[in-house]
Amino acid sequence: GDSVTQMEGPVTLSEEAFLTINCTYTATGYPSLFWYVQYPGEGLQLLLKATKADDKGSNKGFEATYRKETTSFHLEKGSVQVSDSAVYFCALRQGYSSASKIIFGSGTRLSIRP
């Protein structure tokens, strides 16, 4: 079945450091890919998405590019802030012809030191 694998956490960085959180997927067809974020004490929220190969999703300085050849959707940010501390989930969702459930990776906890 479909699955998502993301790098183990926790990841601890200093403020203004460069961030990469790796994510690879296994899926049939052409799923949509997502990054969700869960800030401390808050609900899960969509950070960015890409719906087809070579699309780049971006939001709040974060970016991720849908790479079909490497089945990857790595999350990057050039300069992280303390407020980026959260748990990040890579996820996929199949198209309209099948169930719309989201399949999540295990999550990566990110902590940013001032």
Partner 1 sequence: GAGVSQSPSNKVTEKGKDVELRCDPISGHTALYWYRQSLGQGLEFLIYFQGNSAPDKSGLPSDRFSAERTGGSVSTLTIQRTQQEDSAVYLCASSLSERDYEQYFGPGTRLTVT
Q: Which residues bind partner 1 (CB under 8 A)?
A: 32, 34, 42-46, 49, 51, 89, 93, 96, 99-107
Closer to partner 1 by CB, 34 or 66: give it: 34
What is the DSSP code (8-state) at residue 52?
A: S
Residue 71 Cβ vs partner 1, minimum distance, rounded to whole Å: 19
73-107 core/surface letters (b: 16 or more CB in 10 A; e: else)? bbbebeebeeebbbbbbbbbbbeeeeeeebbbbeb
What is the DSSP code (8-state) at residue 4?
A: E
Tell me the chain's radius of gyration from C-alpha atoms: 14
Closer to partner 1 by CB, 19 or 37: give it: 37
Residue 37 Cβ vs partner 1, minimum distance, rounded to whole Å: 11
Closer to partner 1 by CB, 101 or 114: give it: 101
Residue 78 Cβ vs partner 1, minimum distance, rounded to whole Å: 25
